[in-house]
Structure 1
Amino acid sequence: MDVDRDLLTIGAFAARSRLSAKALRLYDRLGLLAPAYVDELNGYRYYRADQVERARLVALLRQLDMPLARIAEIVELEGERAAERLAAYWAEAESRFASQRTLAAYLRGRLSGRDPGMDSTYGTFTVETVEMGPQVVLTEARHALAHELPAWIEASLGRLEKGAALCGGTTGAPFVVYHSEVSMESDGPVESCVPVADENAARAWAAEHSTARGTKVRVEPAGRLAYTRITKAQVAHPQIVAAFEAVERWIAERGLTVVGPCREVYFADWGAAGPEDPVCDVAFPVA
């Protein structure tokens, strides 16, 4: 092969593609952009001129902070399929940025020592209270780490809502109770709850499903909740931790006492909601 005439050295190719030689070696190791020819004697890499377009595409995708594994998927696709994969990545990124904006704003207020005063606004979270009556609830519980929660919450609430339809229907928004800390290291337990109208029917339905899912029925006592309303984007972990902490600090500063486990109350249609739509109340029972 006439290397000098037909191929570009790694230096010349780096200049054309606007990538460093170091980046080209990395992309070669990851299978993103392999050289057209590698000299067996000295290990020098050579590239074809028609590889410049792929190299520039990789560089542009990296400007979006896209992980290399996702870039590898996109550059192997063509046309609309590649565009759809990019659109999906950017939708995820925008949702993440929306949630991180709130977390950053909250942390700025906390780090600056800003006094929330005597109103009900704490940083970026508005905290209020509401009186709740007693509720009969169908429940399902398990131990789960933070990354396991979204899928389990969706599945468990779906099962319980189907059961509630056979028990006189639902009488309130479904909610999730955290009986102990849930994080990347701590696994709860967590309890999904759906309020139902007919207690006797609920107990019969739960008895049929208790073996497979540990379904139970209990009465949630009446009481007062301190809560803040958050958007779909803010529900993601760890952003939601800031909302819980804001409510806890608001409670402490007003001399109230937490008298039960914290919870998330899902009052909106999750599937239809956008990242900025309110979907959930982060709440603590207080006295």
Structure 2
Amino acid sequence: MYTISRFSKLCKMSTRMLRHYDKEQLLKPIHVDATNGYRYYDKDQLEMALQIKKLREYKFSLPEIREIFQTADEKSLNEWMLLKIQELSNEINSHREIIADMQGIIDQEADMIHREGRIYDVLFGKRSEIPILSQRLRINIADMDHYIDSLYIEAKDNHIQLLGAPSAIFWDEEFTSEECDIELMIPISQGHELDAGSQWQIQRLPDKLIATTLHMGSYDYIGYAHTAIEEWIACNDYVLDGPPYETYLKSLECDCSLEEYVTQVCFPIMKK
């Protein structure tokens, strides 16, 4: 048997990490002295230690490694590898987008630190009553486009004529990207009904006064559009009369760059 110090040298792993793997029920010592608590490892455990080290290099989490060892067959390991390759590929693509965004700031000599809020023209008008196809659900914000696509499929399958771009209401008091409480909706023509029990609903948006503006570009800065409308509402003696919503006039499905996105932000309002 090897002491933990000797074993750490053999597998090039710190004693602190070996203790952590013991705590995580991943690599337990073969023997622990009851009198002094010294940990001892067997040479047969060296291969497992090296496998853990390699899987950590491949960015597997400890729970994932534990599950890999529990299945312990080549087919399952290959499946885990393929999933991790896809995950890492997605991260690489995300990092490339971030790098391109930062490079764009450098190339344009933009001043991110002293960037001023954008100027928005706020318009006042009336929204007429209109039927909508809608669904309220909790989703990861990154999957929103997938659910919007599902909305279009639902409309097609039920022979529902769509009359406009999709919109979204964000119901959460605080934004959480992993689990957003979102209501997706899209205007439809009159006279449609869905079978009871359908996951989608047909509702009617009532007549409302609205304050609205257009936001151009990335959603990262859409908060400026919301604050512009809020300031307009306060200055003109109105109050909110329903949840704000965003309508995606030009977005991902248009196969355009982020800078070309067009989003209409609407606040239902009424006089104080």
User: TM-score normalised to the size of structure 2?
Assistant: 0.61
Distance in 1 of aligned mates of 2:172 and 2:37: 57
Seq. identity, %: 19
- Which range is displaced more, 17-26 or 32-41? 32-41
Matches within 5 A, 1:136-155: 137-141=132-136, 144=138, 147=140
1:199 counterpart residue number: 190
User: What is the DSSP-based 3-state SS (H/G/I as helix, E as strand, rest coil) of the residue aligned with 1:199?
Assistant: coil
**Cα pair 1:181 1:188 within 8 Å, conserved:** no
Distance in 2 of aligned mates of 1:182 and 1:102: 26
1:71 counterpart residue number: 65
User: What is the DSSP-based 3-state SS (H/G/I as helix, E as strand, rest coil) of the residue aligned with 2:191?
Assistant: helix
- Residue 284 in 1 paired to residue 264 in 2? yes
Distance in 2 of aligned mates of 1:49 and 1:57: 14
- The residue type paired with residue 262 of structure 1 is E
Shift, 1:69, TM fit: 1.5
- Residue 262 in 1 paired to residue 246 in 2? yes
Between the two proteins, the alignment pairs up a number of residues equal to 235
Alpha-carbon displacement from aligned partner over 1:193-245 (angstroms, at most 9, x marks no partner): 2343x3212xx338x469x8664144899x974343xxxxxxxxxxxxxx323
Distance 1:244 1:163, change over 3 A: closer
Matches within 5 A, 1:108-257: 111-113=112-114, 137-141=132-136, 144=138, 147=140, 158=150, 161-170=153-162, 174-178=166-170, 183-184=175-176, 190-196=182-188, 198-201=189-192, 204-205=193-194, 208=196, 215-218=202-205, 225-228=214-217, 243-249=218-224
Alpha-carbon displacement from aligned partner over 1:109-144 (angstroms, at most 9, x marks no partner): 664447999xxxxxxxxxxxxxxxx985312236x5
User: TM-score normalised to the size of structure 1?
Assistant: 0.58
**Cα pair 2:133 2:200 within 8 Å, conserved:** no
**Cα pair 1:161 1:170 within 8 Å, conserved:** no
Which 5+ residue runs of structure 2 have no aligned equivalent?
Answer: 119-127, 234-243, 267-272
Distance in 1 of aligned mates of 2:35 and 2:227: 71
Distance in 1 of aligned mates of 2:161 and 2:95: 37
**Cα pair 1:141 1:190 within 8 Å, conserved:** yes
Distance in 2 of aligned mates of 1:267 and 1:219: 29
Distance in 2 of aligned mates of 1:152 and 1:11: 51
Q: What is the CA RMSD across the aligned residues, in angstroms? A: 4.9
1:41 counterpart residue number: 35
User: What is the DSSP-based 3-state SS (H/G/I as helix, E as strand, rest coil) of the residue aligned with 2:40?
Assistant: strand
Distance in 1 of aligned mates of 2:131 and 2:73: 54
Distance in 2 of aligned mates of 1:169 and 1:23: 60
- The residue type paired with residue 178 of structure 1 is F
